[in-house]
Amino acid sequence: MNTETATPAKRDRVVIFDTTLRDGEQSPGASMTLEQKLQVAELLDEMGVDIIEAGFPIASNGDFEAVSEIAKRVKRAVVCGLARAGNADIDRAAEALQHAERRRIHTFIGTSPLHREFQLQLDKDQVHERVVSSVTRARNYTDDVEWSPMDATRTEHDFLCRVVETAIKCGATTINIPDTVGYATPDEFRELIRMLVERVPNADTVVFSTHCHDDLGLAVANSLGGVTGGARQIECTINGLGERAGNAALEEVVMAIKTRADILPFYTDIDATLLMRASKLVAAVSAFPVQYNKAIVGKNAFAHESGIHQDGVLKNAQTYEIMRPEDVGVKSTSLVMGKHSGRHAFREKLIALGFELGDNALQDAFRRFKDLADRKKHVFDEDIAALVEDEMTQQSETIRLVALTVIAGTGGPQKAIVTLDIDGAHQTREATGDGPVDAMFKAIKSIVPHEATLQLYQVAAVTEESDAQADVSVRLGEGDKIVTGRGADTDTMVASAKAYVSALNKLVTRRGKSKPEALKAG
Ligand code: KIV
Ligand code: ZN
């Protein structure tokens, strides 16, 4: 490992703009509740994220409320709201951000031929006029305005230079260059930023930014290419969450800059030891599990399976490790909690694992931990984390699983008896099905009618023994609404029912009707 680094004086700061709550949450099935968004925003703020894009205020009342609440709570980071190039969008973003300590309006318009012709049906001059009116309007509300030419990487260079020049003239302070469809390659993206910095008048008065999607798996490489070309802001998301294949992953960008400081003369202000905690929180609240071999935060990212690797790491960790697990907040698996552990020890353990719960949530989590310790021989850190994440998912839900009995086996037919709590009232139904999962989902459906189809049902073991908790993910699709849910329990059927119910809660919310109406068929 080359440990030579440029001296801090020669290194430029790269601003981290997190869009987990906007671009990330926009990804089908990743919707979060207001409470969950606030938790994520608070952690991003604590981690040192410079700008938090909290949502798209005109998109829905839920988005407006989330941006507005985050604006009130976040004290350090700049809070940003997205707006298209129209008056109503910009006014709504400004309204949502009015209580923010520091606010930014991010306005955008498609500039590529495809976007101009087919999506907007505007010619170049008309798009140009919209740039003038939108940036000028946003500047009337705040002196921190970001402007993005959507699909910039497929926009003619001359036109791109023209609109960027205009946005700067009208007062934009950050120019974000989106690779909206994840089409660019790293060299090409670096040269695009370099071309803009060199050709556009007054380019040195603004910050250039990257916003790269991962359709070709190049989002992080392109973002770093952009920084090498002159950008000083990277837009990214925790776990790379985002539209289609996602965005550049914040944890990868941050650790690449940190680990390769020998050739990348940059730094960020992110506290990398909070990366794992942020990854787990976002995975839990979005119900998007992190792939095992995901860089930095995957379960296997620091696991050495082969004998040669294990031998090398034991002799000197640097033989096969370019980062230390603790640098990104990975805690080693330990076996310190058991059924005799008290509430105080449990609270200390939660803090060590990065969870801070209020008194009621702590009480519920402790009760569940005791129950788990009665059923499971060894309680690992991962078990406690899964339990708490599960508790966080179930909190504030309208529909909750109360009881489940499943009759399964070779004899058939399989049968399930389910009791749900819906806003305080219990309802019990039973159903038979083609297997226990089918029976259980049918019983739940008879209590909460819906037209959704099951698009994904995935079971993973939290730890390695046969009494391990099951971590179940479920994705449901109803019309154009896609929702995901997650549940954990030592009983796979209970975990499955919780995951299904958690997804149904999101579906009911997405129906956008009053609660009694929404609970009926969608
Ligand atoms: O991908 C994109 O182009 C966007 C813009 C709104 C910046 O998300
Ligand atoms: Zn995007």
Could you list the pLDDT tens digit for every one of the 522 residues in the chain? 444 455 555 899 999 999 999 999 988 888 888 988 999 999 999 999 999 999 999 999 999 999 999 999 999 999 999 999 999 999 999 999 999 999 999 999 999 999 999 999 999 999 999 999 999 999 999 999 999 999 999 999 999 999 999 999 999 999 999 999 999 999 999 999 999 999 999 999 999 999 999 999 999 999 999 999 999 999 999 999 998 999 999 999 999 999 999 999 999 999 999 999 999 889 988 888 899 899 999 988 887 656 666 666 677 777 777 899 999 998 664 545 777 888 888 888 887 776 777 788 888 889 988 988 888 777 877 788 888 877 776 766 789 999 999 999 988 789 999 999 998 899 999 999 999 999 999 999 999 999 999 988 988 887 777 778 888 888 888 887 888 888 888 899 999 999 999 889 888 877 765 555 665 654
From 17, 23, 237, the mutation candidate for ligand 1 (largest count of ligand atoms within 8 A of CB) is: 23
Atom index in ligand 1 nearest the CA of residue 82 equals 6
Round to whole Å and give the CA distance between 442 and 428.
Answer: 12
CA of 152 to the centre of ligand 2 (A): 11
Q: Relative to the alpha carbon of 174, which ligand is closest?
A: 1
List the one residue out of 126, 205, 138, 137 whose CA is nearest residue 165: 205
Q: Relative to the alpha carbon of 150, which ligand is closest?
A: 1
Residue with tokens 């400081």: 261
Q: Relative to the alpha carbon of 176, which ligand is closest?
A: 1
pLDDT digits (tens, 9 = 90+) for 97-107: 999 999 999 99
How do the domains of the chain map onto residue ranges? 13-286, 303-392, 399-519
Confidence at residue 196, expressed as pLDDT on a 0 to 100 scale: 98
The residue whose C-alpha atom lies closest to atom 1 belonging to ligand 1 is 180
The fourth-level CATH superfamily of domain 399-519 is Alpha-isopropylmalate synthase LeuA, regulatory domain (3.30.160.270)
Do residues 116 and 124 lie in contact, with contact meaning Cβ atoms separated by under 8 Å?
Answer: yes
Atom index in ligand 1 nearest the CA of residue 108 equals 6
CA of 213 to the centre of ligand 1 (A): 9
Q: Which two tokens stand for residue 253?
A: 């960008």
The residue whose C-alpha atom lies closest to atom 3 belonging to ligand 1 is 180
The residue whose C-alpha atom lies closest to atom 2 belonging to ligand 1 is 180
Q: Whole-model pTM?
A: 0.81
Measured from CB, residues less than 6 Å from any atom of ligand 1 are 23, 108, 148, 150, 178, 180, 211, 213
Atom index in ligand 1 nearest the CA of residue 176 equals 7
Architecture in CATH for domain 13-286: Alpha-Beta Barrel (3.20)
From 58, 90, 180, 189, the mutation candidate for ligand 1 (largest count of ligand atoms within 8 A of CB) is: 180
Round to whole Å and give the CA distance between 361 and 300.
Answer: 30
Residue with tokens 């489940």: 404
CA of 133 to the centre of ligand 2 (A): 22
CA of 20 to the centre of ligand 2 (A): 10
CA of 115 to the centre of ligand 2 (A): 14
* CA-based torsion, 57, 61, 62, 67: positive or negative: positive
CA of 178 to the centre of ligand 1 (A): 6
CA of 244 to the centre of ligand 2 (A): 10
Three-state helix/strand/coil letters over 60-106: CHHHHHHHHHHHHHCCCCEEEEEEECCHHHHHHHHHHHCCCCCEEEE
Do residues 159 and 149 lie in contact, with contact meaning Cβ atoms separated by under 8 Å?
Answer: no
CA of 269 to the centre of ligand 1 (A): 24
CA of 214 to the centre of ligand 2 (A): 10
Q: Which two tokens stand for residue 466?
A: 């046969």
Task: Compute CA 479 distance to the chain's CA centroid, rounded to the nearest angstrom.
Answer: 23
Task: Compute CA 173 distance to the chain's CA centroid, rounded to the nearest angstrom.
Answer: 26
3-state helix, strand, coil in the chain (%, to 5): 45, 20, 35
Confidence at residue 2, expressed as pLDDT on a 0 to 100 scale: 44
Confidence at residue 222, expressed as pLDDT on a 0 to 100 scale: 98
| Residue 48 Cα distances to 16, 32, 157, 175, 342, angstroms | 8, 22, 35, 22, 34
List the one residue out of 354, 298, 289 whose CA is nearest residue 485: 289
List the one residue out of 18, 141, 167, 15 whose CA is nearest residue 79: 18
The residue whose C-alpha atom lies closest to atom 8 belonging to ligand 1 is 23
From 21, 179, 213, 215, the mutation candidate for ligand 1 (largest count of ligand atoms within 8 A of CB) is: 213
Round to whole Å and give the CA distance between 444 and 447.
Answer: 5
CA of 68 to the centre of ligand 1 (A): 21
From 150, 163, 223, the mutation candidate for ligand 1 (largest count of ligand atoms within 8 A of CB) is: 150
Atom index in ligand 1 nearest the CA of residue 213 equals 1
What is the rounded (10 degree) CA torsion for 24, 25, 27, 29?
140
Name the residue type at position 292. Answer: Y
Q: Which two tokens stand for residue 113?
A: 């031929």
At residue 60, φ and ψ (nearest 5 deg) are -165, 165
Round to whole Å and give the CA distance between 439 and 430.
Answer: 8
Residues paired with residue 428 on neighbouring β-strands, in sequence order: 419
Round to whole Å and give the CA distance between 248 and 201.
Answer: 29
Residues paired with residue 146 on neighbouring β-strands, in sequence order: 106, 174
Atom index in ligand 1 nearest the CA of residue 151 equals 3
